[in-house]
């Protein structure tokens, strides 16, 4: 990143000197090929998911309005309403307009919203700098973009890497837990029935490789529709998959609804290294 900003600063200084000269003047010490005005381009940035957690790496997509003959390093900034910010670089390959990457969001400030939706648009993503791998003679670029809002959620289930080695852990959250009591299960293996807002559990390391399903029990239901989110935490404790949906057409009452499958995952152990990986997706 230091090289990016050194080159960007050099280009801006060149432009400042250029603007103070007439068209006939040649700038002593500045090659003619860098004596040019910068062209501003407008890119876009987005994230998936659009609701996430402080201090964790968030998947992002960067899109440029044009291709370049060389790789383009694009700086992405994540800015919280509190003023905390982080930056990351996403490289858009030569000849392409889109690339994906990750940005680690600012660390926790100790404040939670206390609600299912989290702090709405508390984080803004934007594109703040661009540098081509090979500078184009007579050309320079700056970049602006949309401001993409990310909701900041309260809590996920994480453990130290030593505890979670080869394990997966997960947490279920849902709307209006004071009126709706939900539980979570991996059939015949794991269950969480605390009667509180969150239900979470660990998928233990001794379980064999194979396919498993996380299901939700709707014990007390006070609404016909209940939005939900499940946070699937991989063994590295920083990779978090966010799944969400809505339980619809529910019967109001206690113990009147069947369990519902929400996420299916596969556990695989590498026979050579012993490393365990999980691949998860919404159940059909």
Alpha-carbon distances of 51 from 41, 47, 123, rounded to whole Å: 28, 9, 10
Domain end (from 125, 152, 179): 152
Same domain as 180, residue 93: no
Dihedral sign for Cα atoms in the order 46, 127, 108, 59: positive
Find out whether 174 and 228 touch, Cβ atoms under 8 Å: yes
- 270, 210: one domain: yes
Residue 9 lies in a domain: no
178 inside domain: yes
262, 217 Cβ separation under 8 angstroms: no
Whether residue 15 lies inside any domain: the answer is: no
CATH number at residue 84: 2.60.40
What is the predicted pLDDT for the residue at 13?
38
Mean pLDDT across 17-36: 41
Q: Are residues 148 and 219 in the same domain?
A: no
Same domain, 277 and 165: yes
Q: How confident is the model over 31-39, as a mean pLDDT?
A: 63
Domain count, the chain: 2
Which domain-ending residue is among 117, 152, 187? Answer: 152
Q: Looking at residues 267-273, what average pLDDT do you find?
A: 94
Residues 137, 167 within the same domain: no
Domain membership of residue 137 as a residue range: 39-152
Instruction: Say yes or no: 148 and 96 in one domain.
Output: yes
Looking at the structure, tell me whether residues 189 and 240 fall in a common domain.
Answer: yes
CA-derived radius of gyration, the chain: 25
Question: Is residue 103 a part of any domain in this protein?
Answer: yes
> Are residue 135 and residue 186 in the same domain, yes or no?
no
Residues 126 and 169 occupy one common structural domain: no
Domain end (from 126, 152, 178): 152
181 and 88 belong to one structural domain = no
Average pLDDT over residues 68-90: 97
For range 112-136, the mean pLDDT: 93
Q: Is 30 helix (H, G, I), strand (E, B) or coil?
A: coil
8 domain residue, yes or no: no
Same-domain status, 137 and 173: no
Q: What is d(CA 180, CA 221) in angstroms, rounded to the nearest whole number?
A: 5
Rounded mean pLDDT of 4-31? Answer: 39
Same-domain pairing of 177 and 254: yes
Average pLDDT of the chain is 86
Please give the average per-residue pLDDT across 163-177, as a whole number. Answer: 86
């Amino acid at each position: 990143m230091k090289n990016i900003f050194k080159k960007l600063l050099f280009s801006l200084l060149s432009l400042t000197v250029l603007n103070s000269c007439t068209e006939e003047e040649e700038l002593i010490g500045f090659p003619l090929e860098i004596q040019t005005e910068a062209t501003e381009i407008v890119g876009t940035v987005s994230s998936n998911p659009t609701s996430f957690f402080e201090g964790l790496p968030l998947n992002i997509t960067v899109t440029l309005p044009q291709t370049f003959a060389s790789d383009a390093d694009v700086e992405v900034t994540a800015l919280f309403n509190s003023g905390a910010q982080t930056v990351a670089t996403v490289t858009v390959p030569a000849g392409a307009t889109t690339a994906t990457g990750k940005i680690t969001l600012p660390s926790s400030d100790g404040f939670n919203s206390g609600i299912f939706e989290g702090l709405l648009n508390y984080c803004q993503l934007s594109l703040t700098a661009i540098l081509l791998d090979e500078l184009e003679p007579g050309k320079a670029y700056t970049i602006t973009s949309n401001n993409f809002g990310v909701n900041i959620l309260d809590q996920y289930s994480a453990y130290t890497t030593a505890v979670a080695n080869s394990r997966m852990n997960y947490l279920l959250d849902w709307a209006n837990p004071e009126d709706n009591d939900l539980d979570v299960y991996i059939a015949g293996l794991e269950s969480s029935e605390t009667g509180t807002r969150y239900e979470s559990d660990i998928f233990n390391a001794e379980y064999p490789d194979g396919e498993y399903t996380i299901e939700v029990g709707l014990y007390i239901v006070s609404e016909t529709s209940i939005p939900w989110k499940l946070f699937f935490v991989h063994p590295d404790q920083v990779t978090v998959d966010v799944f969400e949906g809505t339980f619809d057409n529910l019967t109001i009452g206690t113990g009147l609804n069947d369990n519902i499958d929400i996420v299916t995952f596969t556990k695989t152990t590498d026979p050579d290294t012993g490393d365990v990986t999980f691949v998860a997706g919404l159940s059909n």
